[in-house]
Structure 1
């Protein structure tokens, strides 16, 4: 992960008192994905059109197609995140809501991780195509133990393009081992590709739900983010971004 550059260890407790105070002050004691937060667009507007409409103009294949374009456009304008990225975050969160309802993973947490890891797919001048493909591909620095975790090569370069040492890959910056464990096809093209935004976001969702259990609890949310990157500065960045995304969504969709 790009954020592996951030050094530091947790203070007492999973994320330490600093993170706890940040979340408590922002959410009144709740996790960023607590039900009191606006973690998902309303199902009435976020679920895609009826079956058979997948080929209609403006409707995407795969999980990103679950998200209403008008809602995603409003969120993109309010958050300065691309419409395509918002569609992926919300579409994956909606899918997980059905597949694993006890996880309570919010789109805002996925967006927060994506923001910290790659600027929502824009790191190094990259952008997201309509099919979710990120170009140019995003690779992290060599994880050689110099200011970062030391992760010896585990994939012979098949995933990260480096046969000498492991690197994090894709817009959500998953290390090869994490991709092998949790990577799957989220774009609907039949191929699991860490450089596809939908696939990468779905892999992240799979991992966060596995690691955290119930992300509507502070303890569960802490476990999930700690498993992704166990540095307090990283957790603070993600928690701040997640709360900000939820608050922005609430303001944007509030009745006039």
Structure 2
């Protein structure tokens, strides 16, 4: 009888021990799960600080070159020949990415043109598309519409750069581009500051006029501006170039995410 009681007490002790152990493990599981999630998301944040989009190549052979001014428009352009992308490629990629075909044509044209002008730069159409998306929704900000001729109407003009939560940039163009003769404002689908446009403005549609409100002009100017310091190949160089366009890490991350999305869809 005594041995029976001892065995019974021993079994109860073992049961209590197992129960406590199970409860302890059960209590640890949520903490473990939270730890795993924390490490996972911390890793994403760390990786995001170093992200750069893949380059989505344009089809070979590249499209034809265009030159000269359109009939009856402006003066003959002093641009080198501007490359025009394959229309079938534009149609297909516009459909799968959701980028308006007229905007995509401008980004791809700038890519091809820079590949001929500055082959070591390595800029890609999807980088320009990422910038165009973040800056103005490809020319659709507010009530604006990107027309088939490449003009954005009404014009997209940013807030006054008066130092109130933004950089302070006194007027540099007498209000010629932004309508403000006190402070500068970013202009057009790729949001050029007038002073930057004065140095980097381009004639992407070869009409003899350099206008930041035209998607071809803006895209070609943006490509040249980004390539000013050389190659954009590699994460560090790519991010440094985009930081020159807008010196905010969050901005660079947004452009990288959108450019990667476009490249992924185009390559499927």
TM-score by length of 2: 0.74
Write out aligned runs for 1:97-246 (5 A).
Answer: 97-211=115-229, 213-246=230-263
On the 8 A contact 2:186/2:192 being kept in 1, the answer is: yes
Distance 1:154 1:171, change over 3 A: same
Match of 1:32 in 2: 53
Match of 2:64 in 1: 48
Secondary structure of the 1:124 match is coil
Sort the Cα spacing of 1:49 and 1:165 in 2 relative to 1 into closer, same or farther, 3 A: closer
Deviations 1:218-250 (A, max 9, x none): 121111111011111111101111111111111
CA distance in 2, matches of 1:233, 1:18: 14
**Distance (Å, rounded) in 2 between the aligned partners of 1:105 and 1:236:** 17
Listed one character per residue, the Cα deviations across residues 142-178 of structure 1 (whole Å, up to 9, x for unaligned) are 1111111111111110121111110000100011111
Give me the whole-angstrom Cα distance separating, in 2, the residues matched to 1:176 and 1:49.
29
Which residue does the alignment assign to 2:9? none
Q: 1:95 to 1:49 in 2, by over 3 A?
A: closer
Q: Does the 8 A contact of 1:137 with 1:170 survive in 2?
A: yes
Report the CA distance between 1:49 and its aligned residue.
8.2
In the TM superposition, what is the alpha-carbon distance from 1:190 to its structure 2 partner? 0.8
Residues 65 and 87 in structure 1, CA contact (< 8 A), matched pair in contact too:
no
User: Could you tell me which residue of structure 2 aligns to residue 254 of structure 1?
Assistant: none
Looking at both structures, which has the greater relative contact order when contacts are Cα pairs under 8 Å and sequence separation is at least 6? Answer: 1
**Does structure 2 conserve the Cα–Cα contact (< 8 Å) formed by 1:79 and 1:248?**
yes
SS of 1:104 mapped into structure 2: coil
Please give the alpha-carbon distance, in whole angstroms, between the structure 2 residues aligned to 1:174 and 1:49.
26
C-alpha RMSD of matched pairs (Å): 2.7
Q: Structure 1 CA distance, aligned partners of 2:46 and 2:192?
A: 25
Residues 69 and 161 (structure 1 numbering): CA distance in 2 closer, same or farther, change over 3 Å?
same
Q: 4+ runs of 1 displaced by more than 3 Å?
A: 17-20, 48-51, 62-65
Give secondary structure in 1 for the equivalent of 2:255.
helix
What residue ranges of structure 1 are gaps of 5+ in the alignment?
A: 1-16, 56-61, 252-256
**Tell me, what secondary structure is at the counterpart of 1:32?**
coil
- In 2, are the aligned partners of 1:19 and 1:232 still within 8 Å (CA)? no
* Count of aligned positions: 218
* Contact 2:83–2:110 (CA under 8 A) maintained in structure 1: no
Which residue pairs with 1:81 in the alignment?
Answer: 99
Deviation sequence 1:5-42 (CA, Å, 0-9, x none)? xxxxxxxxxxxx98871276x7xxxx425xxx32x311
Q: What stretches of structure 2 of length at least 5 have no aligned partner?
A: 1-42, 72-78
The structure richer in helix per residue is: 2
Change (3 A) 1:222 1:199: same
Q: How far did 1:125 drift?
A: 2.2
2:35 corresponding residue in structure 1 = none
Kindly provide the CA deviation profile for residues 176-232 of structure 1, in whole angstroms up to 9, marking residues without a partner as x: 111011001111111101111100111111110014x21112121111111011111
